[in-house]
Chains A and B, each alone.
Chain A
Amino acid sequence: DGGITQSPKYLFRKEGQNVTLSCEQNLNHDAMYWYRQDPGQGLRLIYYSQIVNDFQKGDIAEGYSVSREKKESFPLTVTSAQKNPTAFYLCASSIERAGVNTGELFFGEGSRLTVL
């Protein structure tokens, strides 16, 4: 079945360490997104990518980095520069019809990062 696979589901990090969250999709979608979800807040956009080898900063990109070397993969690195990284991270892709971004987001199951 087509979908988005995020790994790991749970991750613990010590302060000062970089960690990378994996996001793989087999939906053949061009646009992919990383969101952060904190209790009581709406999802906030970290980065997005419309095509391979291109990505754009979202609203809260500081302390994060991404790459898009393959259409299927959009990994997110949480660097030591991110001051408050403990959160639930969601990867998504956007369904296109006739080449137009419909806005319907298909989400992965999420990765919960905890900083010890």
Chain B
Amino acid sequence: EDQVTQSPEALRLQEGESSSLNCSYTVSGLRGLFWYRQDPGKGPEFLFTLYSAGEEKEKERLKATLTKKESFLHITAPKPEDSATYLCAVQAQYNFNKFYFGSGTKLNVKP
């Protein structure tokens, strides 16, 4: 069964305290893995796409990495404005319109 599991469910960090969020997945042929940021009451906002194991993408304080079974979103020296829920999704090779979403990690960065 294709599925995505994110951990932890919630994470509290002090400003400047680096950490990582995990996204474990099983899918019958991965076309792409996606990270989104979602603020309360808003729609998700696209961050990264990763296509193959070993690939890395960076944007400001965020870096996403991919292995054959999981992806990590590393947050370096976070700021309070990084507080949000981070969603992971995988796209299946057999149907480009099928995306499996995890339930997200709610990040809270305290000043």
B43 at the interface (CB under 8 A from A): yes
The complex places the Cα of A110 from the Cα of B44 at a distance, in Å, of 9
A110 touches B91 (CB 8 A): no
B34 touches A45 (CB 8 A): no
B49 touches A103 (CB 8 A): yes
A104 touches B42 (CB 8 A): no
Query: What's the least CB distance linking A50 to chain B, in Å?
Result: 7
Given contacts A45-B98, A104-B46, 4 further A-B contacts (CB under 8 A): A42-B101, A101-B97, A105-B34, A107-B44
Chain A residues contacting B79 (CB-CB under 8 Å) are none
Q: How large is the interface on B (under 10, 10 to 19, 20 to 34, 35 or more residues)?
A: 20 to 34
A33 at the interface (CB under 8 A from B): yes
Q: Known contacts A42-B4, A42-B87, A43-B87; is A103 also within 8 Å of B99 by CB?
A: yes
Q: Known contacts A90-B43, A108-B43, A109-B43; is A103 also within 8 Å of B96 by CB?
A: yes
B103 touches A42 (CB 8 A): yes
Chain B residues near A (Cβ < 8 Å): 4, 9, 31-32, 34, 36, 41-46, 49, 87, 89, 91, 96-104
A40 at the interface (CB under 8 A from B): yes
Q: Interface digits, A83-102 against B, CB 8 Å rule (1 contact, 0 not)?
A: 00000001010100000011
Query: What's the least CB distance linking A114 to chain B, in Å?
Result: 14
The one of B31, B41, B87, B89 that contacts A110, using a Cβ cutoff of 8 Å:
B41
* Residue ID in chain A nearest B97 by CB atoms: A48
Residue contacts A-B, CB under 8 angstroms, 29 given: A4-B43, A31-B97, A40-B103, A42-B4, A42-B100, A42-B104, A43-B44, A43-B87, A43-B101, A44-B101, A45-B99, A48-B97, A90-B44, A102-B49, A103-B31, A103-B34, A103-B49, A103-B96, A104-B34, A105-B36, A105-B44, A105-B46, A105-B89, A105-B99, A106-B46, A107-B44, A109-B42, A110-B42, A110-B43
